Structure 1
Amino acid sequence: MNTFVVAGLAASLGLTLSACQTPQARQAQLATICADPANRQPNTFYWSECQSLYPSTDRQLQKDYALGAPTGD
């Protein structure tokens, strides 16, 4: 029984560590996602994250505000 607990903990630790992502890998993944203009549209899942790579112009922010889109705050 104790062996199964140790094996379970080892497996859990391995899965947890494999899910960790370096900031560089995260930035590269985000750049790939944000390369698609559809992901940079307001009210999409990645919009706020893509703003860090592709910030909206003042004109675009005004348009988004007029349409009731998020302001990026």
Structure 2
Amino acid sequence: MKTYVVTGIVLSVGLILSGCQSSQSRQQQLAAICADPNNRAPKSGYWRECQTLYPSSTRQLQKDYLLGAAAGN
């Protein structure tokens, strides 16, 4: 029984550490993707993620909302 607990703890720690290491590479990949202005467009699949790196101004968000509403989306 103790072997299973220890194994579970070791695996959990390993997963946590691997998650921490991959976040930096994820940020680098996201920065490369968001460098393209087309990926920062509201209809892009990356729009929400790119907002963390390149947040839109209130004016731009209003413009995007109005353009989406005019298109019926």
Q: Same fold (TM over 0.5)?
A: yes
In structure 2, the residue matched to 1:64 is: 64
Gaps of 5+ in 2: 1-18
Q: Distance in 2 between matches of 1:64 and 1:38?
A: 14
Runs of 4+ with deviation above 4 angstroms? none
Structure 1: unaligned runs, 5 residues or longer: 1-19
Structure-1 residue corresponding to 2:22: 22
Count of residue correspondences: 51
Percent sequence identity is 68
Partner of 1:52: 52
Higher relative contact order (Cα pairs below 8 Å, separated by 6+ residues)? 1
Q: State the Cα RMSD in Å.
A: 1.9
Structure whose residues are more often helix by fraction? 2
TM score, norm. by length of structure 2:
0.63
Report the counterpart of residue 37 of structure 1 in structure 2: 37
